Structure 1
């Protein structure tokens, strides 16, 4: 725990509970009812002021904090803590009117105008000047306010504007490139600019990867993704510096959108005191809870298992899908406890009171349009009462034996164009994570360069971009006795998106005991027979010509052009074992493979033999049994039998 975070668990004293509070949307006479209902619902923490910029600074340099003073005073009097926002997430319209150069542009030059939110160029010095001035005023005014528990910087960075391609951003990109490469010759070498006559004579010739006649330079695209993530991170650092100067002991956070490739969260996590996350599983998706579980493991692992804050979720339905499914009775409670079981020290919602107007008026809220006499509010209040008794869970963390590898730079590179096939990083992740989830194997999700010594098994769903140092780390993990599973199209390129020559798998060849001579991606709807561990399966998406260089072939293609060739290898290396899979098996095949690899590595489930759809998680000396089924299930645990209702939660001593 960082020094800045030490006071937060003690201040909150429990799993924090609440949501985004936007009182500016309502007449002031409603605020008293808000506080009364918050106390009734067990609310202990609200995030406030996120979209307040236009009201506290209605005209440039003219500030009116009176209404916000009264809001924070009301919360303090009620004993409710506040995550005070810096209000910089959505600039007021006057900024665009006075400085249209602050507006972001897409790759094709389209200007993104005011009228929604996030209408600013992250590189704009004018935006940064005004944002810094606002944050300074907020920090000075509320540094000692009794409601202040932590600072909420920005909001969902990169949600709508993932990158800006304007001339200001182009100039900033060039400076970033100068710092990265030092000289133009080094950039030309990294970007392979001898191809297609792209050689640059000076950094001033370089542009962002704007809309071009055909495929843009892949390394240019990769570097621009790096730059865009770093540029938004600079905004967070800019605001944090102001807050630290005024309140060195108050923790800072920012909330991240549902798992996405936009930002390199490994870099972001070290800049905040606690990671916050917004989670919106789709009630219409029967596997939504699995993606949520993966997301929670990612977020918790960003700071080595430190608890995180669920800053937003929907009490019921959202407004932004084509079909906005309603959470069934008990489902909101179940998914909230799922987050707690997987490390959340806060359960919060967007938002407190459902908006009367605006783009999100049909997004559910803790107090819906119907009012407190509603199913939603009764469920919200019931959960609040339960979470009020969770003090012993705060700041506890899991101890897992399995790690999945995630590198955002490899994710960016994998999903570039002009590849042998279109591949999806999240799809690869879920294909490997779901069997572990179904078997109730606890997982962390780590950067491939991190310390792997605490894990028995490391799973690499895909690591297309593999640095030599990364391969050495994975190799050393196996040499020391660890187990490793790597899937196809890994170890292909270096950090400049240049191919490792001499046989695909490149720097992973030694530990895997194999290389790939040729890719054979499959057509849409096509499959290929595979005999894996004495079981007949079908492979989809991909196949390849694998050459065993000492590895044991334990699976072969059984039809098609590669019939008889290796599909799965197992290599004893040092004191450990490395597996390589050259196709994507169906759900049953992936489960059988992961079960075998888990067994070989000596990893045990949290609870074995549970019915399908029942998730078991261990945290803080307790075992959480989460029934994601609509119907009830009977579970045998600890010599007894427990009946868990549909969408029910059972908490047992660990």
Structure 2
């Protein structure tokens, strides 16, 4: 398998380049500015299909020839895209059976990208033909560093409900189950008498009365992932017949819920990701760190590529907030700190027309006499200084479990509470770890967890028996496990595990749950140590969303509910099993709470578990300071408006050349990188 694209400058810097939107005299200016900024890699051709094949079977490569030759002459390498995410207008009219159909049965119109059915044989033939022509012509072009297949699989056509998709889904099911009886058993179709007599009777889970079979819905999601992967494989294999350059596509971790990236990762030569801030969050940098850590984990810990992010505002959020001075630099270097070997943007030059004309760019509408351009040039210089970090790894002692299938299953209809949300729980635990200055990996529940001192399960509603046994072995062998409520409830078919809740985790947690007691909106519960008089007056952290009747079966209660439907019953437990420990929390703890003097909030509980597991981390630092070690580079990123001082650091400043002996002060909003 081809490896990571090698660039002489080390880290890759640049972005999507769409010169077809501009006259050729602008191209020459672009190349001059790329040299000034230190750009060494651009993605070209993402949306060129209708330009290079204006009519079926008729090609015009003249513009793309000139673009690639010009970039090569300037020493700028190319990530050449296949333009298959945006079929030409003629394709829709010549092959109407390939049009996208939504869950309400509507055939969607044209005028945008991703308007095709991924299972369409007409699309398969047309896309393979254009990729073959591209690969044959440019596979040996000296400008190329890598190939970029398609663009953002699953962005708008994650699922298609047309007759072609329905037939492909039935074939997929027959291959998965072998016979209709096995499918009926897996889906529990005896409920409501919905038993199928043959695969031909099965329809995709389009709009229907409430209460659709959950097995049907989960399998359709799995089928849809496989349909997109099949499209990628088809193009990748064509490219590989014409050379050995790396082939990738751009993921959208964690914001593309329909795509299971654990299944996608083995298909690409290097994991590449698009990331855009949720700009209205008070702390969007924590969401960025989560995305980067999850991307690195999907990549198996290997270096990965930040292939798109923004210099400033995007164009598609309800309120598109511009980045403040220095924020783009902090964002970019945080991705590098967490394993990216590239900093690429959408896009090089801001568009004057089209849906993304208000999206920021490296060359903004204001031109080069602008703050954004000056920061772009400065960032290019930073990345050249950071070239020695290329290829190094980030090590973590803590893993957070993330499973896309559990994400899907939890958020189907008719769950015990509308407030059960996968991302909300994961982000709550991740934020507590981030503020404790702990770098984490993410892991699938079936993965090898032995490298980690602590494993956190924030939301594992769907958990197979095999994954549950994996967690049990991990704890028994000396691992430490922290589990949040409503985990281990159903298997991979959304069938409840036999016996009391939480069926798959009862043994490892040493408890059972008699009944769920979801809380009303805004209702809270409080906690007390077991045996504390109910009326003892002291400040108590609160829980929300959830309460449940926990029965101990080997575990011991650390805190009881002080009030609410489960007053006097365990709220937080600990189970010593073999050489390890499993912790359980039966509500959504308030994020606050600093320790064990009173019942802890979420951060306090996380700190207790970290200490018990022996997880090393810096202490007594402001929780607005991001601290990440990548190889022998220590990244200190200050998200506060005042300086922060870090003790115990010795080495040479990579960005400023300063010598550090014992401490480092990071300026307000600044970044310091020390090679130790």
TM-score for both structures, normalised by structure 1: 0.97
Contact 1:49 1:85 (C-alpha < 8 Å) held by counterparts: yes
Equivalent residue for 2:545?
A: 541
Q: Which residue of the other structure, out of 327, 343, 355, is the alignment partner of 1:359?
A: 355
C-alpha separation in 2, matches of 1:637 and 1:324:
40
Equivalent residue for 2:596?
A: none
Q: Which residue of the other structure, out of 474, 487, 492, is the alignment partner of 2:489?
A: 492
What does the per-residue CA deviation read over 1:457-501, in whole Å, with 9 as the maximum and x for residues that have no partner? 110001111111101110110111010011111111111110012
2:452 counterpart SS class: coil
Q: Which residue of the other structure, out of 99, 104, 107, is the alignment partner of 2:100?
A: 104
- Does residue 91 (structure 1) correspond to residue 87 (structure 2)? The answer is yes
Task: Give unpaired runs (5+ residues) of structure 2.
Answer: 533-538, 593-600, 650-660
1:246 counterpart SS class: coil
Equivalent residue for 1:520?
A: 517
C-alpha separation in 2, matches of 1:46 and 1:344:
16
Q: Which residue of the other structure, out of 550, 553, 559, is the alignment partner of 2:557?
A: 553
Equivalent residue for 1:629?
A: 640
Equivalent residue for 1:342?
A: 338
- Does residue 509 (structure 1) correspond to residue 506 (structure 2)? The answer is yes
Contact 2:253 2:295 (C-alpha < 8 Å) held by counterparts: no
Contact 2:436 2:623 (C-alpha < 8 Å) held by counterparts: no
2:417 counterpart SS class: coil
C-alpha separation in 2, matches of 1:252 and 1:555:
52
Equivalent residue for 1:619?
A: 630
What does the per-residue CA deviation read over 1:58-116, in whole Å, with 9 as the maximum and x for residues that have no partner? 01110111100111111111111111001111111110011111111111112221111
C-alpha separation in 2, matches of 1:391 and 1:293:
21
Deviation at 1:238, TM superposition (A): 0.9
Contact 1:611 1:635 (C-alpha < 8 Å) held by counterparts: no
Equivalent residue for 1:448?
A: 445
C-alpha separation in 2, matches of 1:200 and 1:436:
47
Equivalent residue for 1:601?
A: 613
Task: Give unpaired runs (5+ residues) of structure 1.
Answer: none
C-alpha separation in 2, matches of 1:530 and 1:119:
52
Query: Considering only aligned residues, what root-mean-square deviation do their CA atoms show, in Å?
Result: 1.3
Q: How does 1:347-496 map to 2 (within 5 A)?
A: 347-422=343-418, 423-496=420-493
1:129 counterpart SS class: helix
1:337 counterpart SS class: helix
Deviation at 1:631, TM superposition (A): 3.6
Deviation at 1:296, TM superposition (A): 0.6
C-alpha separation in 2, matches of 1:103 and 1:616:
48
1:536 counterpart SS class: coil
Deviation at 1:568, TM superposition (A): 1.1
Q: How does 1:242-321 map to 2 (within 5 A)?
A: 242-247=238-243, 249-260=244-255, 261-321=257-317
C-alpha separation in 1, matches of 2:65 and 2:399:
46
1:83 counterpart SS class: strand
Equivalent residue for 2:50?
A: 54
Deviation at 1:651, TM superposition (A): 1.0
Equivalent residue for 1:35?
A: 31
Deviation at 1:287, TM superposition (A): 1.5
What does the per-residue CA deviation read over 1:242-300, in whole Å, with 9 as the maximum and x for residues that have no partner? 111111x2111111124132111001000001111111113332221111111111100
Contact 1:277 1:309 (C-alpha < 8 Å) held by counterparts: yes
C-alpha separation in 1, matches of 2:633 and 2:528:
41
Number of equivalent positions: 648
What does the per-residue CA deviation read over 1:434-462, in whole Å, with 9 as the maximum and x for residues that have no partner? 11100111100011111111111110001
Contact 2:437 2:623 (C-alpha < 8 Å) held by counterparts: no
Contact 1:282 1:325 (C-alpha < 8 Å) held by counterparts: no
Deviation at 1:640, TM superposition (A): 4.1
What does the per-residue CA deviation read over 1:123-172, in whole Å, with 9 as the maximum and x for residues that have no partner? 10101110000111111111110111111011111112221111111001
TM-score for both structures, normalised by structure 2: 0.94
C-alpha separation in 1, matches of 2:463 and 2:188:
18
Deviation at 1:532, TM superposition (A): 6.2
Q: Which residue of the other structure, out of 558, 571, 583, is the alignment partner of 1:579?
A: 583
C-alpha separation in 1, matches of 2:154 and 2:333:
28
